[in-house]
Amino acid sequence: MQAKIFHQSSWARSSRGTPIEMYKKTHSRDGKATAPILFVGGVHGDEPEGVRLAQEFLKWLSEAESKSPEAILHSWILVPCLNVDGYLRNLRTNDNGVDLNRNFPARDWSPEAKAPRYYPGPQPSSELETQALVDLIKIEKPRLIVHFHSWEPCVVYTGHNGKNASEIIAGNSGYTVHEDIGYPTPGSLGQYGWLEHQIPVVCIEEKEHIRLDLVWLNFESGLKKLMTTDFET
């Protein structure tokens, strides 16, 4: 008898007090819980492609967990939309005008922003959304973090041992895999996961403004494969 997916409709709250959802399922091997993969959508509120991808992925996970849970090899945690307020208002930043992907307490966090939409906040981890994810990472110690964005299509990883997972995820999407996005991202989730915890972080950049019903088709096979095969990190 498989345990149900654990769901918290108010796992955390945004700086405006809006509830943030979280889903989680633990899988064991040889009687021992495996380290989870953490998936996060909606870090940037104006990238609906990433939220849609997270939602579609959750739909598939829910179905797979009820029909053939033995096929899923990895424990997982999914936050479909971290920046709930930005998402509701189609803004990159949260309600305080902070770019959450520059607000993580990585050692390279910088108070400078190249433009207002990249405002990193008054100090690292100043935002409740960031704090919630930081606490989750410290408690759950994921083996891999994957976050869903949209921009120029690519799959980017931070931490050399994220290469395998990135290639699996890119699958047949035709999107290229890079180790570096090509510009500095101080205080990003990638920098935080890798520099502070040595957890490889994969950033899926779906094509900006792509039709939302196409995002799952692009990553369906890659994400399914990630969950159903063994891979090294």
**Contacts to Zn ion by CB under 5 A:** 44, 47, 149
| Residue 47 or 85 with smaller CB distance to Zn ion | 47
> Using alpha carbons only, what angle is made at residue 63 by residues 58 and 68, rounded to the nearest 5 degrees?
125
Q: In the complex, what is the shortest distance from the CB of residue 211 to Zn ion, in angstroms, rounded to a whole number?
A: 18
Q: In the complex, what is the shortest distance from the CB of residue 115 to Zn ion, in angstroms, rounded to a whole number?
A: 14
Q: In the complex, what is the shortest distance from the CB of residue 205 to Zn ion, in angstroms, rounded to a whole number?
A: 7
Q: In the complex, what is the shortest distance from the CB of residue 154 to Zn ion, in angstroms, rounded to a whole number?
A: 12
Instruction: Identify which of 4, 8, 10, 9 has the alpha carbon closest to the alpha carbon of residue 25.
Output: 4
C-alpha distances (whole Å) from 130 to each of 135, 144, 176 are 9, 17, 28
| Residue 31 or 182 with smaller CB distance to Zn ion | 182
| Residue 47 or 129 with smaller CB distance to Zn ion | 47
Q: In the complex, what is the shortest distance from the CB of residue 96 to Zn ion, in angstroms, rounded to a whole number?
A: 17
d(CA 170, CA 127): 31
Q: Which amino acid is at 54?
A: A
| Residue 69 or 184 with smaller CB distance to Zn ion | 184
The residue nearest Zn ion at its CB is 149
Render the burial of 134-157: b for 16+ CB within 10 Å, e for the rest: bebbeeeebbbbbbbbbbebbbbb
| Residue 75 or 94 with smaller CB distance to Zn ion | 94
d(CA 207, CA 132): 28
